[in-house]
Chain A
Protein backbone atom coordinates (compact mmCIF):
# COMPACT_ATOMS: atom_id res chain seq x y z
CA UNK A 1 0.00 0.00 0.00
CA UNK A 2 0.98 3.61 -0.43
CA UNK A 3 2.36 4.30 3.06
CA UNK A 4 4.71 1.35 2.83
CA UNK A 5 5.96 2.53 -0.53
CA UNK A 6 6.44 6.06 0.76
CA UNK A 7 8.65 4.72 3.53
CA UNK A 8 10.71 2.78 1.00
CA UNK A 9 10.94 5.86 -1.17
CA UNK A 10 12.07 8.03 1.73
CA UNK A 11 14.76 5.51 2.66
CA UNK A 12 16.08 5.21 -0.86
CA UNK A 13 15.66 8.91 -1.61
CA UNK A 14 17.57 10.02 1.47
CA UNK A 15 20.54 7.86 0.48
CA UNK A 16 20.40 9.15 -3.10
CA UNK A 17 20.37 12.66 -1.68
CA UNK A 18 23.39 11.93 0.52
CA UNK A 19 25.25 10.54 -2.48
CA UNK A 20 24.22 13.45 -4.69
CA UNK A 21 25.34 15.99 -2.05
CA UNK A 22 28.94 14.85 -2.22
CA UNK A 23 28.74 14.84 -5.97
CA UNK A 24 27.37 18.36 -6.17
CA UNK A 25 29.81 19.63 -3.54
CA UNK A 26 32.75 18.56 -5.69
CA UNK A 27 31.15 20.08 -8.76
CA UNK A 28 30.41 23.33 -6.96
CA UNK A 29 33.83 23.76 -5.37
CA UNK A 30 36.24 22.06 -7.80
CA UNK A 31 34.14 22.55 -10.95
CA UNK A 32 34.74 18.90 -11.76
CA UNK A 33 32.15 16.25 -12.51
CA UNK A 34 33.78 13.42 -10.60
CA UNK A 35 32.57 10.24 -12.24
CA UNK A 36 34.50 8.04 -9.80
CA UNK A 37 31.95 8.95 -7.13
CA UNK A 38 29.92 5.80 -7.88
CA UNK A 39 32.97 3.59 -7.45
CA UNK A 40 33.86 5.37 -4.21
CA UNK A 41 30.33 4.55 -3.02
CA UNK A 42 30.98 0.88 -3.85
CA UNK A 43 34.34 0.96 -2.05
CA UNK A 44 32.64 2.33 1.06
CA UNK A 45 30.29 -0.60 1.02
CA UNK A 46 33.08 -3.19 0.69
CA UNK A 47 35.16 -1.42 3.33
CA UNK A 48 32.33 -1.70 5.86
CA UNK A 49 31.78 -5.34 4.94
CA UNK A 50 35.48 -6.15 5.32
CA UNK A 51 35.64 -4.40 8.68
CA UNK A 52 32.61 -6.32 9.90
CA UNK A 53 33.62 -9.76 8.60
CA UNK A 54 37.42 -9.70 8.88
CA UNK A 55 38.00 -7.47 11.89
CA UNK A 56 34.66 -8.22 13.53
CA UNK A 57 34.09 -4.53 14.03
CA UNK A 58 30.70 -3.38 15.28
CA UNK A 59 28.52 -1.81 12.60
CA UNK A 60 28.95 1.78 13.78
CA UNK A 61 32.73 1.44 13.72
CA UNK A 62 32.54 -0.15 10.28
CA UNK A 63 30.55 2.87 9.07
CA UNK A 64 33.13 5.29 10.40
CA UNK A 65 35.90 3.15 8.93
CA UNK A 66 34.14 3.10 5.57
CA UNK A 67 33.90 6.90 5.60
CA UNK A 68 37.59 7.12 6.39
CA UNK A 69 38.56 4.68 3.64
CA UNK A 70 36.37 6.27 0.97
CA UNK A 71 37.29 9.78 2.10
CA UNK A 72 40.98 8.95 1.83
CA UNK A 73 40.33 7.52 -1.61
CA UNK A 74 38.62 10.76 -2.65
CA UNK A 75 41.56 12.73 -1.28
CA UNK A 76 44.01 10.58 -3.24
CA UNK A 77 42.01 11.04 -6.45
CA UNK A 78 42.22 14.79 -5.93
CA UNK A 79 45.91 14.85 -5.05
CA UNK A 80 47.15 12.34 -7.63
CA UNK A 81 44.82 13.00 -10.57
CA UNK A 82 42.82 16.20 -10.33
CA UNK A 83 45.57 18.40 -8.91
CA UNK A 84 48.11 17.71 -11.68
CA UNK A 85 45.35 18.36 -14.23
CA UNK A 86 44.51 21.67 -12.53
CA UNK A 87 48.15 22.66 -12.54
CA UNK A 88 48.23 22.10 -16.30
CA UNK A 89 44.98 24.02 -16.88
CA UNK A 90 43.38 20.95 -18.46
CA UNK A 91 40.09 21.64 -20.23
CA UNK A 92 36.95 20.67 -18.32
CA UNK A 93 36.37 17.34 -20.03
CA UNK A 94 39.77 15.94 -19.12
CA UNK A 95 39.26 15.51 -15.35
CA UNK A 96 35.85 14.04 -16.06
CA UNK A 97 37.34 11.43 -18.39
CA UNK A 98 40.15 10.77 -15.91
CA UNK A 99 37.64 10.05 -13.16
CA UNK A 100 35.79 7.59 -15.43
CA UNK A 101 39.11 5.77 -15.59
CA UNK A 102 39.45 5.83 -11.81
CA UNK A 103 35.95 4.39 -11.49
CA UNK A 104 36.72 1.52 -13.85
CA UNK A 105 40.01 0.81 -12.06
CA UNK A 106 38.31 0.68 -8.68
CA UNK A 107 35.46 -1.49 -9.94
CA UNK A 108 37.76 -4.09 -11.47
CA UNK A 109 40.03 -4.00 -8.42
CA UNK A 110 37.04 -4.74 -6.20
CA UNK A 111 36.08 -7.57 -8.52
CA UNK A 112 39.60 -8.97 -8.29
CA UNK A 113 39.73 -8.74 -4.51
CA UNK A 114 36.19 -9.76 -3.58
CA UNK A 115 34.85 -11.59 -6.67
CA UNK A 116 31.93 -10.65 -8.90
CA UNK A 117 29.24 -12.39 -6.86
CA UNK A 118 26.87 -10.65 -4.49
CA UNK A 119 28.22 -10.41 -0.94
CA UNK A 120 26.05 -9.95 2.13
CA UNK A 121 26.49 -8.71 5.66
CA UNK A 122 26.53 -11.65 8.12
CA UNK A 123 23.39 -12.46 10.10
CA UNK A 124 23.01 -10.58 13.31
CA UNK A 125 24.88 -7.53 12.11
CA UNK A 126 21.84 -5.68 10.83
CA UNK A 127 19.52 -4.07 13.35
CA UNK A 128 16.71 -6.63 13.35
CA UNK A 129 13.93 -4.70 15.02
CA UNK A 130 10.68 -4.15 13.20
CA UNK A 131 7.45 -2.59 14.31
CA UNK A 132 4.08 -1.92 12.80
CA UNK A 133 2.53 1.52 12.55
CA UNK A 134 -0.98 1.26 11.17
CA UNK A 135 -0.46 -1.00 8.17
CA UNK A 136 3.15 -0.08 7.67
CA UNK A 137 6.00 -2.38 8.61
CA UNK A 138 8.86 -0.21 9.72
CA UNK A 139 12.28 -1.78 9.99
CA UNK A 140 14.66 -0.28 12.54
CA UNK A 141 17.24 -0.40 9.77
CA UNK A 142 15.19 1.98 7.64
CA UNK A 143 14.83 4.41 10.52
CA UNK A 144 18.58 4.26 11.06
CA UNK A 145 19.33 4.84 7.37
CA UNK A 146 17.04 7.85 7.11
CA UNK A 147 18.34 9.26 10.40
CA UNK A 148 22.01 8.87 9.47
CA UNK A 149 21.46 10.38 6.03
CA UNK A 150 19.58 13.38 7.37
CA UNK A 151 21.95 14.01 10.27
CA UNK A 152 24.94 14.02 7.92
CA UNK A 153 23.14 16.31 5.50
CA UNK A 154 22.18 18.65 8.33
CA UNK A 155 25.80 18.79 9.49
CA UNK A 156 26.94 19.61 5.96
CA UNK A 157 24.29 22.31 5.60
CA UNK A 158 25.26 23.86 8.93
CA UNK A 159 28.96 23.86 8.07
CA UNK A 160 28.33 25.49 4.70
CA UNK A 161 25.90 28.04 6.06
CA UNK A 162 27.38 29.01 9.41
CA UNK A 163 31.13 28.46 9.52
CA UNK A 164 34.10 30.31 8.07
CA UNK A 165 35.03 27.08 6.26
CA UNK A 166 31.58 27.01 4.67
CA UNK A 167 31.81 30.64 3.62
CA UNK A 168 35.24 29.97 2.14
CA UNK A 169 33.88 27.01 0.17
CA UNK A 170 31.03 29.13 -1.16
CA UNK A 171 33.56 31.81 -2.08
CA UNK A 172 35.58 29.28 -4.09
CA UNK A 173 32.40 28.06 -5.78
CA UNK A 174 31.77 31.59 -7.00
CA UNK A 175 35.35 32.57 -7.85
CA UNK A 176 38.56 30.73 -6.98
CA UNK A 177 40.54 33.85 -7.84
CA UNK A 178 38.59 35.98 -5.39
CA UNK A 179 39.04 33.25 -2.78
CA UNK A 180 42.83 33.20 -3.21
CA UNK A 181 42.91 36.99 -2.84
CA UNK A 182 41.07 36.64 0.48
CA UNK A 183 43.93 34.49 1.73
CA UNK A 184 42.05 31.23 1.39
CA UNK A 185 44.30 28.28 0.62
CA UNK A 186 42.10 27.08 -2.21
CA UNK A 187 44.14 23.93 -2.88
CA UNK A 188 43.76 22.81 0.72
CA UNK A 189 40.01 23.33 0.61
CA UNK A 190 39.89 21.32 -2.63
CA UNK A 191 41.46 18.47 -0.67
CA UNK A 192 39.06 18.85 2.25
CA UNK A 193 36.08 18.96 -0.12
CA UNK A 194 37.25 15.86 -1.97
CA UNK A 195 37.66 14.00 1.30
CA UNK A 196 34.28 15.03 2.69
CA UNK A 197 32.40 14.35 -0.54
CA UNK A 198 33.92 10.89 -0.90
CA UNK A 199 33.24 10.11 2.77
CA UNK A 200 29.57 10.97 2.21
CA UNK A 201 29.57 8.82 -0.92
CA UNK A 202 31.15 5.95 1.02
CA UNK A 203 28.62 6.01 3.85
CA UNK A 204 25.84 6.17 1.26
CA UNK A 205 27.31 2.95 -0.14
CA UNK A 206 27.21 1.31 3.28
CA UNK A 207 23.59 2.37 3.78
CA UNK A 208 22.48 1.02 0.39
CA UNK A 209 24.45 -2.17 1.01
CA UNK A 210 22.64 -2.60 4.33
CA UNK A 211 19.23 -1.69 2.96
CA UNK A 212 19.29 -4.35 0.23
CA UNK A 213 21.89 -6.46 2.01
CA UNK A 214 23.71 -6.91 -1.26
CA UNK A 215 27.15 -5.69 -2.29
CA UNK A 216 28.61 -6.07 -5.77
CA UNK A 217 31.48 -4.43 -7.65
CA UNK A 218 28.97 -2.96 -10.10
CA UNK A 219 26.71 -1.33 -7.50
CA UNK A 220 28.21 2.12 -8.08
CA UNK A 221 27.03 2.38 -11.66
CA UNK A 222 23.25 2.79 -11.28
CA UNK A 223 23.64 5.19 -8.36
CA UNK A 224 26.15 7.24 -10.34
CA UNK A 225 23.48 7.80 -12.97
CA UNK A 226 20.95 8.67 -10.32
CA UNK A 227 23.38 11.02 -8.66
CA UNK A 228 24.03 12.83 -11.94
CA UNK A 229 20.30 13.00 -12.59
CA UNK A 230 19.62 14.28 -9.07
CA UNK A 231 22.09 17.15 -9.26
CA UNK A 232 21.05 18.13 -12.77
CA UNK A 233 17.43 18.09 -11.67
CA UNK A 234 18.18 20.14 -8.56
CA UNK A 235 20.58 22.49 -10.31
CA UNK A 236 24.29 21.77 -10.66
CA UNK A 237 26.35 22.71 -7.63
CA UNK A 238 23.33 23.62 -5.51
CA UNK A 239 23.13 21.87 -2.16
CA UNK A 240 19.37 22.16 -1.71
CA UNK A 241 19.01 20.99 -5.28
CA UNK A 242 20.92 17.77 -4.57
CA UNK A 243 18.77 17.06 -1.53
CA UNK A 244 15.59 17.65 -3.45
CA UNK A 245 16.78 15.84 -6.58
CA UNK A 246 17.87 12.78 -4.59
CA UNK A 247 14.58 12.55 -2.74
CA UNK A 248 12.64 13.10 -5.94
CA UNK A 249 14.42 10.27 -7.72
CA UNK A 250 13.87 7.93 -4.78
CA UNK A 251 10.16 8.65 -4.78
CA UNK A 252 9.80 8.55 -8.57
CA UNK A 253 11.59 5.22 -8.74
CA UNK A 254 9.71 3.50 -5.92
CA UNK A 255 6.29 4.85 -6.81
CA UNK A 256 6.58 4.07 -10.49
CA UNK A 257 7.85 0.58 -9.71
CA UNK A 258 4.95 -0.03 -7.36
CA UNK A 259 2.15 1.44 -9.39
CA UNK A 260 3.20 1.58 -13.03
CA UNK A 261 5.67 -1.10 -13.94
CA UNK A 262 7.94 -3.13 -11.73
CA UNK A 263 10.39 -3.60 -14.61
CA UNK A 264 10.39 -0.08 -15.92
CA UNK A 265 10.58 1.99 -12.75
CA UNK A 266 13.83 3.65 -13.78
CA UNK A 267 12.50 4.35 -17.26
CA UNK A 268 9.54 6.18 -15.78
CA UNK A 269 11.69 8.07 -13.24
CA UNK A 270 14.20 9.21 -15.83
CA UNK A 271 11.46 10.01 -18.35
CA UNK A 272 9.89 12.29 -15.78
CA UNK A 273 13.26 13.88 -15.15
CA UNK A 274 13.60 14.62 -18.86
CA UNK A 275 10.20 16.31 -18.91
CA UNK A 276 11.12 18.52 -15.96
CA UNK A 277 14.37 19.55 -17.61
CA UNK A 278 12.48 20.57 -20.74
CA UNK A 279 10.64 23.10 -18.61
CA UNK A 280 13.60 24.12 -16.44
CA UNK A 281 16.86 23.37 -18.24
CA UNK A 282 19.05 24.76 -15.46
CA UNK A 283 17.36 22.60 -12.82
CA UNK A 284 14.97 23.53 -10.07
CA UNK A 285 17.39 25.58 -7.97
CA UNK A 286 19.86 26.16 -10.77
CA UNK A 287 21.63 29.31 -11.71
CA UNK A 288 23.70 29.84 -14.78
CA UNK A 289 26.67 27.51 -14.83
CA UNK A 290 29.45 29.88 -15.80
CA UNK A 291 31.67 31.22 -13.11
CA UNK A 292 34.32 33.86 -12.91
CA UNK A 293 37.91 32.86 -13.52
Chain B
Protein backbone atom coordinates (compact mmCIF):
# COMPACT_ATOMS: atom_id res chain seq x y z
CA UNK B 1 0.00 0.00 0.00
CA UNK B 2 1.34 3.40 -0.87
CA UNK B 3 1.47 6.25 1.56
CA UNK B 4 -1.02 9.11 1.03
CA UNK B 5 -0.44 11.33 4.08
CA UNK B 6 2.64 11.78 6.22
CA UNK B 7 2.65 13.87 9.36
CA UNK B 8 6.01 14.77 10.84
CA UNK B 9 6.55 16.31 14.29
CA UNK B 10 3.19 18.13 14.23
CA UNK B 11 2.68 20.51 17.15
CA UNK B 12 -0.21 22.90 17.76
CA UNK B 13 -0.49 25.52 20.49
CA UNK B 14 -3.42 27.43 21.89
CA UNK B 15 -1.60 30.45 23.29
CA UNK B 16 0.89 29.06 25.80
CA UNK B 17 -0.63 25.61 25.94
CA UNK B 18 0.71 23.01 23.56
CA UNK B 19 -2.25 20.77 22.82
CA UNK B 20 -0.44 18.58 20.28
CA UNK B 21 3.20 17.93 21.06
CA UNK B 22 4.97 16.55 18.03
CA UNK B 23 2.99 13.81 16.32
CA UNK B 24 4.39 11.46 13.71
CA UNK B 25 2.05 9.25 11.77
CA UNK B 26 1.26 8.12 8.25
CA UNK B 27 -1.78 6.95 6.37
CA UNK B 28 -1.79 4.30 3.69
CA UNK B 29 -3.93 4.74 0.65
CA UNK B 30 -7.20 2.86 0.73
CA UNK B 31 -7.04 2.04 4.44
CA UNK B 32 -8.94 3.14 7.52
CA UNK B 33 -6.53 4.50 10.11
CA UNK B 34 -7.85 5.19 13.59
CA UNK B 35 -6.59 7.89 15.91
CA UNK B 36 -8.04 7.06 19.30
CA UNK B 37 -7.75 8.51 22.75
CA UNK B 38 -9.59 10.14 25.59
CA UNK B 39 -11.39 13.46 25.56
CA UNK B 40 -8.84 16.28 25.46
CA UNK B 41 -5.98 14.15 24.15
CA UNK B 42 -5.56 16.38 21.08
CA UNK B 43 -7.43 14.39 18.46
CA UNK B 44 -9.70 17.15 17.16
CA UNK B 45 -6.85 19.65 17.32
CA UNK B 46 -4.82 17.35 15.08
CA UNK B 47 -7.65 17.12 12.55
CA UNK B 48 -8.18 20.89 12.54
CA UNK B 49 -4.48 21.32 11.84
CA UNK B 50 -4.65 18.80 8.97
CA UNK B 51 -7.52 20.85 7.49
CA UNK B 52 -5.64 24.12 7.90
CA UNK B 53 -8.06 25.66 10.40
CA UNK B 54 -5.34 25.69 13.05
CA UNK B 55 -1.80 26.62 12.09
CA UNK B 56 0.81 24.22 13.48
CA UNK B 57 3.54 25.76 15.61
CA UNK B 58 5.97 23.29 14.07
CA UNK B 59 6.02 20.19 11.94
CA UNK B 60 5.10 19.23 8.46
CA UNK B 61 2.06 17.71 6.74
CA UNK B 62 2.59 16.06 3.40
CA UNK B 63 -0.34 14.93 1.28
CA UNK B 64 0.52 12.86 -1.80
CA UNK B 65 4.06 14.18 -1.63
CA UNK B 66 3.00 17.85 -1.45
CA UNK B 67 3.66 19.99 1.62
CA UNK B 68 0.21 21.29 2.64
CA UNK B 69 1.22 22.59 6.08
CA UNK B 70 0.76 26.25 5.21
CA UNK B 71 -2.17 26.02 2.80
CA UNK B 72 -5.48 27.74 3.52
CA UNK B 73 -8.40 25.46 4.48
CA UNK B 74 -10.15 25.80 1.11
CA UNK B 75 -6.96 24.90 -0.73
CA UNK B 76 -6.63 21.75 1.36
CA UNK B 77 -10.20 20.78 0.46
CA UNK B 78 -9.34 21.42 -3.20
CA UNK B 79 -6.48 18.89 -2.83
CA UNK B 80 -9.05 16.29 -1.74
CA UNK B 81 -8.63 16.30 2.04
CA UNK B 82 -12.15 16.69 3.38
CA UNK B 83 -13.19 16.73 7.02
CA UNK B 84 -16.42 15.90 8.75
CA UNK B 85 -16.06 17.98 11.90
CA UNK B 86 -17.25 16.77 15.26
CA UNK B 87 -20.73 17.36 16.61
CA UNK B 88 -23.33 19.00 14.47
CA UNK B 89 -21.16 19.74 11.47
CA UNK B 90 -24.11 20.36 9.16
CA UNK B 91 -25.73 23.67 8.30
CA UNK B 92 -29.05 23.61 10.09
CA UNK B 93 -30.53 26.65 8.34
CA UNK B 94 -30.03 25.13 4.88
CA UNK B 95 -32.02 22.25 3.45
CA UNK B 96 -30.61 18.75 3.14
CA UNK B 97 -30.27 19.21 -0.62
CA UNK B 98 -28.51 22.55 -0.20
CA UNK B 99 -26.06 21.02 2.25
CA UNK B 100 -25.22 18.35 -0.30
CA UNK B 101 -24.90 20.89 -3.12
CA UNK B 102 -22.45 22.88 -1.01
CA UNK B 103 -20.44 19.71 -0.44
CA UNK B 104 -19.50 19.91 -4.12
CA UNK B 105 -18.39 23.55 -3.79
CA UNK B 106 -14.81 22.95 -4.89
CA UNK B 107 -15.61 20.63 -7.78
CA UNK B 108 -15.02 21.85 -11.29
CA UNK B 109 -16.77 18.87 -12.95
CA UNK B 110 -20.37 19.98 -12.65
CA UNK B 111 -21.52 16.96 -14.64
CA UNK B 112 -20.05 14.52 -12.13
CA UNK B 113 -21.82 16.23 -9.25
CA UNK B 114 -25.18 14.75 -10.25
CA UNK B 115 -23.69 11.24 -10.22
CA UNK B 116 -22.22 11.83 -6.78
CA UNK B 117 -25.60 13.00 -5.54
CA UNK B 118 -27.18 9.78 -6.78
CA UNK B 119 -24.48 7.77 -5.00
CA UNK B 120 -25.02 9.62 -1.73
CA UNK B 121 -28.78 9.12 -1.95
CA UNK B 122 -28.17 5.44 -2.64
CA UNK B 123 -25.94 5.18 0.41
CA UNK B 124 -28.38 7.16 2.59
CA UNK B 125 -31.90 6.78 1.15
CA UNK B 126 -33.32 8.68 4.11
CA UNK B 127 -31.59 11.84 2.96
CA UNK B 128 -33.39 11.67 -0.35
CA UNK B 129 -36.76 11.49 1.40
CA UNK B 130 -35.85 14.58 3.38
CA UNK B 131 -34.04 16.53 0.68
CA UNK B 132 -36.30 19.57 0.93
CA UNK B 133 -36.33 19.73 4.74
CA UNK B 134 -34.13 21.98 6.81
CA UNK B 135 -31.16 19.99 8.01
CA UNK B 136 -31.78 21.25 11.55
CA UNK B 137 -34.97 19.16 11.64
CA UNK B 138 -33.13 15.87 11.10
CA UNK B 139 -32.44 13.43 13.93
CA UNK B 140 -28.89 13.16 15.27
CA UNK B 141 -28.13 10.05 13.21
CA UNK B 142 -29.54 11.57 10.04
CA UNK B 143 -27.46 14.70 10.62
CA UNK B 144 -24.33 12.58 10.83
CA UNK B 145 -25.33 10.78 7.60
CA UNK B 146 -25.80 14.15 5.98
CA UNK B 147 -22.41 15.33 7.21
CA UNK B 148 -20.72 12.26 5.75
CA UNK B 149 -22.76 12.40 2.55
CA UNK B 150 -21.89 16.05 2.11
CA UNK B 151 -18.18 15.30 2.50
CA UNK B 152 -18.49 12.57 -0.15
CA UNK B 153 -19.97 15.15 -2.53
CA UNK B 154 -16.52 16.76 -2.65
CA UNK B 155 -15.15 13.49 -4.11
CA UNK B 156 -12.41 13.33 -1.48
CA UNK B 157 -9.16 11.39 -1.69
CA UNK B 158 -8.85 11.40 2.08
CA UNK B 159 -11.79 11.64 4.48
CA UNK B 160 -11.16 12.91 8.00
CA UNK B 161 -13.90 11.84 10.38
CA UNK B 162 -14.04 13.47 13.80
CA UNK B 163 -16.04 11.35 16.25
CA UNK B 164 -18.82 10.31 13.90
CA UNK B 165 -20.41 8.22 16.66
CA UNK B 166 -20.57 11.01 19.22
CA UNK B 167 -23.94 11.47 20.89
CA UNK B 168 -25.70 8.79 18.84
CA UNK B 169 -27.88 5.92 20.05
CA UNK B 170 -26.12 2.50 20.06
CA UNK B 171 -27.98 1.19 17.00
CA UNK B 172 -27.13 4.31 15.06
CA UNK B 173 -23.48 4.00 16.14
CA UNK B 174 -23.41 0.52 14.59
CA UNK B 175 -24.92 1.86 11.40
CA UNK B 176 -22.43 4.72 11.15
CA UNK B 177 -19.44 2.39 11.60
CA UNK B 178 -20.91 0.00 9.04
CA UNK B 179 -21.25 2.88 6.62
CA UNK B 180 -17.69 4.04 7.23
CA UNK B 181 -16.45 0.53 6.40
CA UNK B 182 -18.59 0.45 3.30
CA UNK B 183 -17.25 3.78 2.05
CA UNK B 184 -13.73 2.53 2.67
CA UNK B 185 -14.33 -0.67 0.76
CA UNK B 186 -15.23 1.48 -2.24
CA UNK B 187 -11.62 2.71 -2.13
CA UNK B 188 -11.61 5.83 0.01
CA UNK B 189 -8.81 6.45 2.53
CA UNK B 190 -10.17 7.40 5.96
CA UNK B 191 -8.66 8.86 9.09
CA UNK B 192 -11.08 8.03 11.87
CA UNK B 193 -10.81 9.93 15.13
CA UNK B 194 -12.79 8.31 17.93
CA UNK B 195 -13.34 8.03 21.65
CA UNK B 196 -15.27 4.86 20.90
CA UNK B 197 -11.97 2.97 20.85
CA UNK B 198 -13.29 -0.57 20.47
CA UNK B 199 -15.49 0.16 17.47
CA UNK B 200 -12.87 2.29 15.79
CA UNK B 201 -10.05 -0.26 16.16
CA UNK B 202 -12.36 -3.02 14.91
CA UNK B 203 -12.70 -1.45 11.50
CA UNK B 204 -9.24 0.15 11.29
CA UNK B 205 -6.27 -1.49 9.59
CA UNK B 206 -3.84 0.72 11.47
CA UNK B 207 -4.30 2.56 14.77
CA UNK B 208 -2.60 5.22 16.83
CA UNK B 209 -3.32 5.89 20.49
CA UNK B 210 -2.90 9.50 21.53
CA UNK B 211 -2.54 10.74 25.12
CA UNK B 212 -2.06 14.38 26.15
CA UNK B 213 -0.89 15.42 22.73
CA UNK B 214 1.50 12.54 22.07
CA UNK B 215 1.22 9.23 20.30
CA UNK B 216 1.89 6.54 22.87
CA UNK B 217 1.10 3.41 20.85
CA UNK B 218 0.89 2.49 17.21
CA UNK B 219 0.10 -0.87 15.74
CA UNK B 220 -2.45 -2.64 13.60
CA UNK B 221 -6.03 -2.20 14.77
CA UNK B 222 -6.22 -5.89 15.59
CA UNK B 223 -3.09 -5.87 17.76
CA UNK B 224 -4.15 -2.72 19.57
CA UNK B 225 -7.48 -4.29 20.44
CA UNK B 226 -5.61 -7.22 21.99
CA UNK B 227 -3.05 -5.02 23.73
CA UNK B 228 -3.49 -5.17 27.53
CA UNK B 229 -2.53 -1.51 27.94
CA UNK B 230 -5.24 -0.44 25.52
CA UNK B 231 -7.70 -2.78 27.15
CA UNK B 232 -7.00 -1.40 30.60
CA UNK B 233 -7.08 2.25 29.63
CA UNK B 234 -9.85 2.38 27.04
CA UNK B 235 -11.83 -0.83 26.88
CA UNK B 236 -12.78 -1.08 30.52
CA UNK B 237 -10.44 -3.99 31.44
Contacts and interface: CB of A to CB of B under 8 A. Distances in A.
Contact of B101 (A167, A177, A183): A167
A182 interface: yes
A181 B89 contact: yes
Secondary structure at the B interface, as helix, strand, loop or mixed, is loop
A180 B74 contact: yes
Given A174-B94, A181-B73, A183-B154, A168 B102 contact: yes
Interface string A173-186: 11101101111111
A171 B85 contact: no
Nearest to B153: A182
B64 interface: no
A23 B154 CA distance: 33
Interface residues of B, number: 25
Secondary structure at the A interface, as helix, strand, loop or mixed, is helix
B102 A182 contact: yes
Interface string B27-64: 00000000000000000000000011100000000000
A49 B105 CA distance: 41
A171 B91 CA distance: 6
A174 B136 CA distance: 12
A177 B74 CA distance: 11
A170 B92 CA distance: 10
Contacts of A168: 102, 105
B137 interface: no
A4 to B, nearest CB: 41
Interface in B78-103: 78, 82-83, 85, 89-94, 98, 101-103
B53 A167 contact: no
Contacts of B98: 167, 170
B91 A184 contact: no
Contacts of A167: 94, 98, 101-102
Nearest to B77: A183
B72 interface: yes
Interface in B154-178: 154
Contacts of A178: 85, 89-91
Nearest to A173: B93
A170 B89 CA distance: 15
Contacts of B52: 180
A181 B105 contact: no
A195 to B, nearest CB: 19
- Of residues B73, B92, B150, which shows the largest number of chain A Cβ atoms within 10 Å of its Cβ? B73
Contact of B53 (A171, A174, A181, A184): A181
Nearest to A292: B88
A174 B105 contact: no
B199 interface: no
B228 to A, nearest CB: 37
A263 interface: no
Contact of A185 (B72, B82, B91, B102): B72
A71 to B, nearest CB: 23
Contacts of B74: 180, 183-186
Contacts of A181: 51, 53, 73, 77, 82-83, 85, 89
B101 A164 contact: yes
A174 B95 CA distance: 13
9 contacts: A164-B101, A167-B101, A167-B102, A171-B91, A174-B94, A180-B51, A182-B154, A183-B78, A185-B72
Interface of A: 164, 167-168, 170-171, 173-175, 177-178, 180-187
A-B pairs with lowest CB-CB distance, top 4? A183-B77, A183-B106, A180-B73, A185-B74
